[in-house]
Amino acid sequence: MKFSKIILSVFLLTAVWVHDLQGQSDERTKNFPKEIKKVDSFPEKENLWVFMMAGQSNMAGRGLVEPEDTLSNPRIIALNHKGEWIEAKEPLHLYQPELTGLDMGTSFANELLKNVDKDITIALVPVAMGGSSVDYWLNDKEFHGVNLLSNFKKKLRLAQEKGTLKGILWHQGESDAFLEKIPGYEGKLLTLFHFFRSYSTIENLPIVCGELGSFSLDKEKKWEMINKKIEEVTYQYPNLTLVNTGDLKAKSDNVHFNGQSQRILGIRYAQAYLHLISSNSKI
């Protein structure tokens, strides 16, 4: 009898756990777009500004998608994970469908459109992968079924067939925020950025980097130390710029930016990019 009660208790606890997970999934995906429109006509190549979105989960996006995030704009398009051009709606990163959420892409593009000529269209190319360390990127390791650098190059080639690469949006470092990894992080990040620019054939390609959030509660992870390395890279080397995140808020996991912070982050990336290109006439 006791054994049967134990089995019943385990069954009931499992059922509650599954129900809770399902509830979280429903909440996460409830506002995902029901219709996606493919793009079959494009502006002149010089008027289609391409931006690669690379890094790990806070670039891939874990924020809650709201209805406002799924309003399409014909001047904002995206190259999806299948290599198809679509009108951009959040979420953009679909490599990890069980986790994907709001990223900064559409808020970046909308802010940029306020400050460029009306004949410009923004093309977003999402290639970020949650949990990916800088070593995974450098070594083109397969991660969740995707070789990170190879996928970057493949999507870049497809994007450059239609448009003009204008910059890279980068956010990464949580997976490298350990004492043993931090000393080599700056050099590895610079090497990776050199690879990106080499693939693009644009020596001075603008790269916008974001700080990690200031909300981690994991004492083993040294987010502040990684941020200092990112700052050193962006301050010491040309055509790189930094986006501050110290005031932005996290989800309940204290790892990922919440939806509102993702929208703010996109605006800041756009403003940082505009400041960078306005201060460098060579770009």
From 9-18, 118-127, 157-166, the region with the lowest mean pLDDT:
9-18
Structural domain contains residue 32:
no
Residue 104 clears pLDDT 70, i.e. is over it: yes
Residue 4 clears pLDDT 70, i.e. is over it: no
Residue 178 clears pLDDT 80, i.e. is over it: yes
Sheet holding 207-210, edge to edge: 85-87, 76-79, 121-126, 48-55, 164-171, 207-210, 240-243
**Is the model more confident about 282 or about 96?**
96
pLDDT tens readout for residues 196-221: 999 999 999 999 999 999 998 888 88
Structural domain contains residue 166:
yes
**Is the model more confident about 38 or about 12?**
38
DSSP string, 140-197: T-EETTEEHHHHHHHHHHHHHHHSEEEEEEEE--GGG-STTTGGGHHHHHHHHHHHHH
Token digits for 129? 């992968």
pLDDT tens readout for residues 158-177: 999 999 999 999 999 999 99
Number of domains in the chain: 1
> In the chain, what percentage of residues exceed pLDDT 90?
86
Strand partners, 208: 169, 241
Q: Return the ∠ at Cα 217 (arms to 105 and 255), rounded to 5°.
A: 20
pLDDT-based confidence at residue 283 (cuts at 50, 70, 90): very low
From 25-29, 30-34, 63-67, the region with the lowest mean pLDDT:
25-29
Total residue count of the chain as it appears in this document: 283
In the chain, which ranges are continuous DSSP H helix?
2-29, 57-60, 105-113, 134-138, 148-162, 185-200, 223-236, 259-278
Structural domain contains residue 17:
no
Structural domain contains residue 38:
no
Tell me the residue range of the domain where 251 lies: 44-278
pLDDT-based confidence at residue 6 (cuts at 50, 70, 90): very low
Q: Could you tell me which of 230, 148, 151, 222 has the C-alpha nearest to residue 187?
A: 230
Q: What is the DSSP letter of 237?
A: S
Mean pLDDT of the chain: 91
Structural domain contains residue 1:
no
> In the chain, what percentage of residues exceed pLDDT 70?
90
Residue 268 clears pLDDT 70, i.e. is over it: yes
**Is the model more confident about 254 or about 9?**
254
Structural domain contains residue 143:
yes
Give the CATH number, domain containing residue 125. 3.40.50.1110
Structural domain contains residue 254:
yes
